[in-house]
Amino acid sequence: MDSLKNKFAEKALPEVVKIKEFAKAHGNKVIGTYTIDDIYGGMKGITGLVTETSLLDSNEGIRFRGYSIPELREKLQHFVEGGSEPIPEAIFYLMLMGEIPSNEDVQNLTNNWARRAIVPRHVFNVLDALPRTTHPMTQFTIAIMAMQTESVFAASYRKGINKKDYWDPTYEDVMNLIARLPRVAAYIYRRTYKNDEHIEPDPKLDWAGNFGHMLGYDEPDFAELMRLYMTIHSDHEGGNVSAHSTHLVGSALSDPYLAFAAGMNGLAGPLHGLANQEVIRWLQGMCESLNTKRPSKEQIAQYVKDTLAQGQVVPGYGHAVLRKTDPRFISQMGFAKKHMPDDDMVNTVWNVYEVVPPILESLGKVKNPWPNVDAHSGALLQHYGLVEEDFYTVMFGVSRSLGVMASLCWDRALSLPLERPKSITTEALMKMV
Ligand code: AMX
């Protein structure tokens, strides 16, 4: 057993007893009520599932195991030599274990994932069989499904396994999957955009640095961006579409590959992760139509109004839970101020940030007029020459694996049951009132 697996078992398994006792003592306490509007409104007002890794406050933003993003900048002081951005191994450890890791814990995780990072040949063959024009997110989920042949959970279940032990093969799949995703994603990028010229992993690099390297971007600043990007996109509590679909599909004891592929199909929607692609298309469309690299605030305002008049959303703005500027937007803004303060696209993102909120507010129906994580991320990637925006959601997906896979380990350790909410017909609802 690897040392993290031992530590996870020691931490997570006693929690089952604790939760059973808690539920026995307080199981009938009412924690909320909901309305017909909540049912028609995508269940947004309903607290209905347990996710241990992070918790979202509508005003403050995300807290990972209790720590906000600014607090984590203080706490996660695990940098590669010469670096100053948090390394994603640290946030994964925090989400899985609920504790700030030591430098040794983080180094062990880097080594652990490097050891597990071998992608079976048939996964590349499956990708090679697809037309190069296949959207990178479709390639990504197909590759995840192709890797399902390796599922330790599926093999153990087939042989027969005690339900108390489900967490063990889940952990193995989770670690293997996370370790292999950067290689798979980089392969998709290089086959789609770089003439099939693939780059071998460098086992001396950390997980995110290696991802940047395999994509073909070796500047230290890009590796730093990857570390920040992979850290801040990793989790956003349990109810968002990618996290919830992973959890839901996992609750049928579908193995982690099947569950994660489901989550990624949800991330591929334009109201969720695909928004990062849409933001860049929207910004570029604006600059092209105005024939300028830096549209004025007046020009931006008009373009926003035109977008709304065409019955389209302004991508990168709004959120189902957040009601303030996303701290993940702010942290990317901080990175841009440090590394590329004069970049045209970045400055346009900042001008859009000044113009859009009052316009959305004036509509009187948008609950959150502020930018989310996707409003900024593409401009940073464009700066370093990673300009193929259709690939951006795959990068989000690689990062999102950290949170949803840590959660899946907990789901199985806590023996969370099959998820099956009750649905109702409109006719039945009408009869009730
Ligand atoms: N531009 C225009 N209209 C918007 C809007 C935006 N950015 N955000 C919300 N609205 C509209 C909705 O479409 C809805 O209009 P309708 O009543 O005519 O159907 C109305 O405002 C109320 O919506 P809401 O309750 O404020 O939002 P929601 O919880 O239903 O949806 C979200 C949230 C994110 C889907 C929505 O804000 C949106 O479409 N944003 C743009 C896409 C985007 O950036 N998505 C990424 C979110 C972050 C992520 O998951 N990665």
Q: Indicate whether 82 belongs to any domain.
A: no
- Strand-by-strand arrangement of the 54-57 sheet: 54-57, 61-64, 67-68
Buried b (16+ CB within 10 A) or exposed e, 12-26: beeeeeeeeeeeeee
State mean pLDDT over 285-314. 98
Q: How far is CA 202 from the centre of its chain?
A: 24
Q: Report, as residue numbers or ranges, the catalytic residues.
A: 272, 319, 374
Q: Name the phi and psi angles at 65, rounded to 5.
A: 45, 40
Which residue, by CA, sits nearest to atom 30 of ligand 1? 320
The answer, yes or no, to whether residue 221 has pLDDT greater than 90, is: yes
Residue pLDDT, tens place only, 62-108: 999 999 999 999 999 999 999 999 999 999 999 999 999 999 999 99
Cα-to-centroid distance, 47 and ligand 1 (Å): 20
Interval between CA 270 and ligand 1 midpoint (Å): 10
Q: Which pLDDT tens digit goes with each residue over 65-78? A: 999 999 999 999 99
Does 284 map to a domain?
no
Q: Per-residue confidence at 297, pLDDT binned at 50, 70, 90?
A: very high
Q: Which amino acid is located at 40 in the chain?
A: Y
225 belongs to a structural domain: yes
Closest to 381 measured CA to CA, from 272, 269, 225 = 225
Ligand 1 centroid vs 315 CA: distance in angstroms? 8
- Cα angle 256-212-396, degrees, rounded to a multiple of 5: 45
Query: What is the span of the domain harbouring residue 130?
Result: 95-271+395-413
Q: Report the separation in Å between the CA atom of 96 and the middle of ligand 1, taken as the mean of its atom positions.
A: 31
Q: Is residue 166 assigned to a domain?
A: yes
Which residue minimizes the CA distance to atom 36 of ligand 1?
318
Average pLDDT, the chain: 97
Total count of domains within the chain: 1
pLDDT on residue 416: 96
User: For residue 113, is it within any domain?
Assistant: yes
Q: List, for residues 240-261, the tens digit of each pLDDT value.
A: 999 999 999 999 999 999 999 9
- Whether residue 1 has pLDDT greater than 80: no
DSSP state, residue 317? B
Residue of the CA atom closest to atom 44 of ligand 1: 316
pLDDT tens per residue across span 265-290: 999 999 999 999 999 999 999 999 99
Whole-angstrom distance, CA of residue 257 vs CA of residue 276: 24
Is a pLDDT exceeding 90 seen at residue 2? no
Residues 386-407: tens digit of each pLDDT: 999 999 999 999 999 999 999 9
Residues whose beta carbon lies within 6 Å of some atom of ligand 1:
240, 271-273, 275, 308, 313-320, 360, 365-368, 372-374
Residue 34 and residue 46 in contact, taking contact as beta carbons nearer than 8 Å: yes
Q: pLDDT exceeding 70 applies to what percent of the chain?
A: 100
Using CA atoms, how far apart are residues 115 and 291, in angstroms rounded to an integer? 49
Ligand 1 atom with least separation from CA of 368: 26
Q: Which of 95, 74, 399 is nearest to 225 (CA)?
A: 399
Contact status, residue 207 vs residue 182, Cβ threshold 8 Å: yes
Within a domain: 242: yes
62 backbone dihedrals φ, ψ, rounded to 5°:
-80, 145
Residue nearest to atom 17 of ligand 1 (CA): 365
Whose CA is closest to atom 35 on ligand 1? Answer: 271
| Pocket residue to mutate for ligand 1, from 233, 279, 359, 367, most atoms within 8 A of Cβ | 367
**For ligand 1, what atom is nearest to the CA of residue 317?**
7
Q: What CATH number did the domain enclosing 261 receive?
A: 1.10.580.10
The per-residue pLDDT for 45 is 83
Is 185 part of a structural domain of the chain? yes
419 is a domain residue:
no
Handedness of CA 74, 77, 83, 86 (dihedral sign): negative
